[in-house]
């Protein structure tokens, strides 16, 4: 009999998912599985809001620091490691307690809670460069021929998904549309979403950005640039790209901070749109003073 239970805590950046998860995990005697697409990379710590060593001593965290910044971890790789951790948790208390899946990477969360079927095809550099040289119009026309079902779901001006669909077709000989779908897990899942109104979220994003800079984000970016070169793709992501511009003398630190806040707000808006599309998520307002107790009541109901 499967005794696994999973509690997913999701929502936009800066809504306090990690803090709530720490509190719940301590009460449950459980562990935290990260669902963050940048925390999987070693050495990217401050700018990804990776749990501190003190937090990791309070509660064991998994699915962070999985690979080096020069490596690529695909959604399929993440899904495989997460499913393994859920099937046989690294620390199995007796009786078993629910596991906490925590993060704002929508695709990571969905890959677990909905059991996305993901074609396990690694990026093919040579094939991609050959295809890219043909141009998006030609590529989309190819896709309409070999996989009309996928073409219907992909916008004609979306080169990333067009290229991926063709890559999967040429590597496996099967249309990507036939290899996708969902295979939901057989264990109970409670999905908790954290949200607040836009003005509060903007304040939280600003405070978080200031804290990252105070904690040494600039030094972290400088060290990473020296070690891996400033053209490392991860150094163009949120918080890192802006500080890289500051270190290159292109903008002031104040401008780098303002840009980080602006880009984080835009990112949070996209995250909210993504998660709001899932009716199974139960939403809680992070501004309510008794947030932890309200969520805890719901968790106890779920555990039964």
pLDDT digits (tens, 9 = 90+) for 3-54: 789 999 999 999 999 999 999 999 999 999 999 999 999 999 999 999 999 9
pTM for this one?
0.88
Q: Per the structure, how many domains does the chain have?
A: 2
47 in Cβ contact with 267 (< 8 Å): no
Summarised one tens digit per residue, pLDDT across range 185-208 is 999 999 999 999 999 999 999 999
Q: Are residues 41 and 189 in the same domain?
A: yes
Residue range 118-144: mean pLDDT, rounded: 89
Same domain, 242 and 94: yes
Establish if 191 belongs to a structural domain: yes
Same domain, 108 and 130: no
Q: Is the domain of 153 the same as that of 37?
A: no
Q: Are residues 34 and 99 in the same domain?
A: yes
CA gap 100, 19 in Å, rounded:
12
Could you tell me the CA-to-CA distances from 107 to 110, 134, 258, 263, 280 in Å, in that order? Answer: 5, 29, 28, 20, 16
Question: 170 lies in which domain range?
Answer: 125-179
Same domain, 262 and 228: yes
Domain-embedded: residue 244: yes
The answer on 202 and 66 residing in a single domain is: yes
């Amino acid at each position: 009999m499967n005794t696994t239970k999973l509690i997913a805590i999701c929502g936009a950046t800066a809504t306090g998912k990690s803090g709530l998860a720490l509190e719940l995990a301590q009460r449950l005697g459980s562990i935290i599985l990260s669902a963050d697409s940048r925390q999987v990379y070693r050495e990217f710590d401050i700018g990804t809001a990776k749990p501190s060593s003190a937090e990791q001593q309070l509660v064991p965290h998994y699915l962070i620091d999985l690979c080096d910044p020069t490596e690529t971890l695909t959604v399929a790789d993440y899904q495989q490691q997460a499913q393994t951790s859920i099937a046989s948790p690294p620390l199995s208390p007796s009786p078993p307690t629910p596991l906490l899946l925590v993060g704002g990477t929508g695709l990571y969360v969905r890959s677990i809670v909905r059991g996305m079927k993901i074609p396990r095809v690694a990026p093919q550099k040579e094939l991609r460069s050959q295809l890219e040289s043909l141009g998006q119009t030609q590529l989309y026309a190819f896709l309409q021929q070999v996989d009309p079902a996928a073409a219907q779901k992909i916008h004609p001006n979306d080169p990333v998904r067009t290229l991926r669909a063709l890559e999967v077709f040429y590597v496996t000989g099967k249309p990507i549309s036939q290899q996708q779908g969902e295979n939901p897990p057989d264990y109970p899942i409670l999905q908790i979403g954290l949200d607040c109104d836009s003005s509060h979220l903007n304040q939280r994003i600003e405070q978080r950005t200031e804290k990252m800079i105070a904690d040494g984000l600039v030094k972290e970016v400088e060290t990473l640039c020296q070690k891996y070169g400033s053209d490392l793709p991860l150094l163009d992501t949120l918080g890192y790209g802006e500080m890289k511009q500051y270190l290159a003398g292109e903008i002031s630190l104040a401008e780098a901070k303002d840009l980080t806040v602006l880009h984080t707000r835009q990112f949070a808006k996209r995250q909210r749109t993504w998660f709001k599309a899932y009716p199974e998520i139960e939403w809680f307002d992070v501004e309510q003073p008794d947030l932890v107790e309200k969520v805890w009541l719901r968790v106890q109901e779920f555990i039964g």
